[in-house]
Amino acid sequence: MKTYYVYLMASTSRTLYTGVTNNLERRVLQHRRKLLPGFTAHYNINRLVYFEVYGEIADAIAREKQIKSWGRMKKINLIESANRDWNDLSAGWYGAQSTAPGPKRKKQSERDSSQGSE
């Protein structure tokens, strides 16, 4: 069974964008890297602030249309019902943008000295 997502993304100034996708990680990355020309690239919308999961594309599209028809305050209330502080829900999904430290790399001198000890 496929999974579909209705999602809301925001800029740091809280400009909002609502979309639907079958691959949320890929779509968020496309928005972040501005690979999708248009509204999200122009307004630097790059933070995932809300999403819902659906098993049927028709349900996801209907929900996306419903949310898009709402006024700004209703969208804000929806976001804040699940994400009061507008945290980026995709923080840490991508290696270079992760807030967690990566694996420690050995310094060149450590690598050189360990090669001769085998």
Q: Which residues make beta-bridge pairs with 21?
A: 5
What pLDDT score was predicted for residue 80? 98
* CATH classification (class only), 4-99: alpha beta
Indicate whether this model's pTM tops 0.75.
yes
Can you say whether residue 106 is alpha, beta or left, with left for phi > 0 and alpha for psi between -120 and 50 degrees? beta
Mean pLDDT for the stretch of residues 48-54: 98
Cα angle 32, 37, 41 (rounded to 5 degrees) comes to 45
What is the per-residue pLDDT across 91-116, written as a single tens digit (0 to 9) for each?
988 875 443 333 333 444 333 433 34
The predicted-structure confidence for 17-37, as pLDDT tens digits, reads as follows 999 999 999 999 999 999 989
Ranges of each domain in the chain = 4-99
Is 118's pLDDT higher than 70?
no
Model pLDDT, residue 94: 83
Task: Supply the mean pLDDT for the chain.
Answer: 85
pLDDT at 2: 94
What HEC string does 67-91 produce? Answer: HHHCCHHHHHHHHHHHCCCCCCCCC
